[in-house]
Amino acid sequence: MTQTFETLVFPYLNHAVRMFESGYATAVDIDNAMRFGCGYPKGPLTVLDEVGPAVVRDALAARFAETGDHLHQPADLLDRIADEGGSFTAGGVGSAEAPRLQHEIARLGVVGTGTMASGIAQVFAQCGYDVVVVGRGEDKLARVTAYVTKNLDRAIERGKSDEATKAEVLGRLSVTTSRADLADVDLVVEAIAEDIAVKRDLFRDLDEILKPGAILATTTSSLPVTELAKATSRSADVIGMHFFNPAPVMKLVEVVTTELTAPAVDETVRALTAKVGKVAVSCGDRAGFIVNALLFPYLNDAVRLAASGADLTAIDADIKEAAGFPMGPFELLDVVGNDVSLAIQEELFREFGEPGFAPAATLVAKVAAGELGRKTKKGFHDYS
């Protein structure tokens, strides 16, 4: 362990304990979310058990005494487990039965033509489902077909597929500019702009078009699923199905239920997620879900650490070496985009009201200066 590891990773572990302690998500789902959503070698509760709950608790307590930051105050459950010599993950997998499809799912719809929508359409088509993709124009729809075709061609080049399979997958995809063509699908996944008003209008429209019993899923990563459910007359059939980008590659899907979601809909979506080769984690409808709620406060802390004069490149290298994360915090911020990161951190601050969640001043300044990361050739690192 290094000082950088303790400074940045221990509060992240503590936050994971609080999430588990609150009953928001299980230990298994929290660990799986960070493993399959971020590519971490181990989940936070597994790491905590390996480092030692007492070690983490004592280090956090000492830091809390210095800073007074509530995020550094050891969670009550961490304190108890440390005193008892217990574990967060012992017997973690459990013996729960695998979810089963409670609704018949044969034909699927995807609304949207961006990278996420295209990837989701590919995932479903590759797993034998007929998929209807709805977009606003023929040119945008052509990009969906081109995206899937390019991915399939790459798989053929790597010897992981063949032309016959490619033809079958593309044969299951149909594209249209008319939402009315979704009338007979069993489940629709919405993957349009992250704008609550635009999504709400879409859900109102889909409510009129879809057959009774069809499931409406949203891929939103930050907006309230409950608001979309209330825009329909079938709130029990609305659920979050947050794929990670790129959908054909990333294994995680956060399945987000509202207080209105029917249990059969939840189970069906989790079963469908497993059928298409993804890992489902269950969580409730609040800002950040599991992954973003744990990831972005850690990234925000890294920005604050850098503001104290620490070397960014050294922090990135230290975290990759000590924690085994695929990217250091500043490399990741630059990939995600500092504007996106700021928006997520602002939403977490609004939702939880934690003073420690207030966006770091340097992150705000980077966005104001237009230094957004790789997409602008400059962020925390220079890519020019």
Give just the sign of the alpha carbon dihedral 188, 227, 21, 321: positive
pLDDT at 310: 86
**Cα(365)–Cα(373) distance, rounded to whole angstroms?**
13
pTM: 0.94
Closest CA to 81 of 58, 114, 109: 58
pLDDT at 91: 65
Question: CA 120: distance to chain centroid?
Answer: 14
**Cα(375)–Cα(379) distance, rounded to whole angstroms?**
9
Domains of the chain: 3-91+290-376 (1.10.1040.50), 107-284 (3.40.50.720)
Closest CA to 296 of 370, 349, 350, 371: 349
Closest CA to 337 of 287, 284, 373: 373
Task: Please give the torsion angle defined by the CA atoms of residues 2, 4, 10 and 16, in that order, rounded to the nearest 10 degrees.
Answer: -120
**Cα(151)–Cα(304) distance, rounded to whole angstroms?**
39
Q: Which two tokens stand for residue 319?
A: 């975290």
Closest CA to 288 of 12, 6, 4: 12
Q: Which two tokens stand for residue 258?
A: 């509202």
β-pair partners for 131: 108, 173
Q: Which residues are catalytic?
A: 221, 242, 254, 292
Closest CA to 301 of 1, 15, 76: 15
Coil, strand, or helix at residue 174? Answer: strand
**H helical segments located in 101-215:** 115-126, 138-157, 163-172, 196-209
E strand or H helix that includes residue 247: none
pLDDT at 132: 98
Task: Please give the torsion angle defined by the CA atoms of residues 336, 224, 236 and 192, in that order, rounded to the nearest 10 degrees.
Answer: -50
> Residue 271, Cβ neighbours under 10 Å: how many?
17
pLDDT at 222: 82
pLDDT of the chain along its 384 residues, tens only? Answer: 789 999 999 999 999 999 999 999 999 999 999 999 999 999 999 999 999 999 999 999 999 999 898 899 999 999 999 999 999 987 655 456 889 999 999 999 999 999 999 999 999 999 999 999 999 999 999 999 999 999 999 999 999 999 999 999 999 999 999 999 999 999 999 999 989 999 999 999 999 999 999 999 999 988 999 999 999 999 999 999 999 999 999 999 999 999 999 999 999 999 999 999 999 999 999 999 999 999 999 999 999 999 888 899 999 999 999 999 999 999 999 999 999 999 999 999 999 999 999 999 999 999 999 999 999 999 999 999
How far lies 308's CA from each of 170, 305, 312, 318, 341, in Å?
Answer: 53, 5, 11, 17, 20
